[in-house]
Amino acid sequence: MNTDLKVALIQTELVWENPSENRRMLNDKINAVSQDADLIVLPEMFTSGFTMNPEAVAETMEGKTIVWLKEKAKEHQAAIMGSLVIAENTNYYNRLVCVEPSGKITSYNKRHTFTLAGEHKVYTAGTERVVFDYKGWEICPLVCYDLRFPVWARNTEDYDLLIYVANWPKIRIDAWDALLKARAIENMTYCIGVNRVGLDGNNYQYSGHSAAYDILGKRLSNLSHNEDTIEIVTLEKAAIKKYREKLNFLNDRDNFSL
């Protein structure tokens, strides 16, 4: 098995509360990935933008977007990850899904709902963190505001890759830059963040700053700020083993449980 993982970061504008138009737009972007990718990462709420009006855009796990993701993953032989609004058991969730070419779906409900925007009033918070295997890589997927809470990302499983999908506004983008890098360093893991660009329906501006960092905090990506763009980064599994064995920082973790 190839120990490298090629990840495509799709930094894009989103059409406000319009799932069908966002699927059409993202279909073209996924088709435009210029080389084979193992994993394609989309922003948070990629079908709608960060809306507090879930009833206008909510789908089910059998809905049009999940069907479309399965088709695209199979077509490109790559897993596709991002979050969307899901209605389930009378609740709404900001749910991250990772759909593999086989049709397998891993899902994670955003734990830290963004109280400043009132997300906690309309979306049900998740209660379980998820770590899953894909092509021999242990991946921990999280969503936007989760980035501010390092305990939730703490690498107790020795996972290999931490991924955040986001709608993180330009006004607080310095925090995004600092925390993404910090999560990579403190967890000795690759860390990827995919953020949107453009203006949303509430007139909030987003400037991207999507990025990938290695386990020592070195930036691997060169995505332009404010631009609707795509980049593929190659992650090397051997580098994780090399530096964890050499430095052993994770061995000195404090023991505690939530």
Q: What are the catalytic residues?
A: 44, 110, 144
Greatest C-alpha distance within the chain: 51
Instruction: Work out the angle at residue 19's Cα, subtended by the Cα atoms of residues 12 and 203, and round it to the nearest 5 degrees.
Output: 55
d(CA 49, CA 52): 9
Nearest alpha-carbon partner for 228 in 257, 194, 253, 187: 194
Nearest alpha-carbon partner for 188 in 214, 149, 152: 214
Cα separations (Å) of 159 from 61, 85, 104, 133, 188? 27, 27, 20, 9, 9
Q: Spell out the residues 6+ positions from residue 54 whose beta carbon is closer than 8 angstroms to its own.
A: 85, 87, 92, 122, 123
Count Cβ neighbours within 10 Å for each residue of 178-195 and write b for 16 or more, e otherwise.
ebbbbbbbbbbbbbbbbb
d(CA 116, CA 123): 13
Locate 116 and state its tokens.
Answer: 């400043």
- The dihedral through the CA atoms of 103, 49, 208, 129 has a sign that is negative
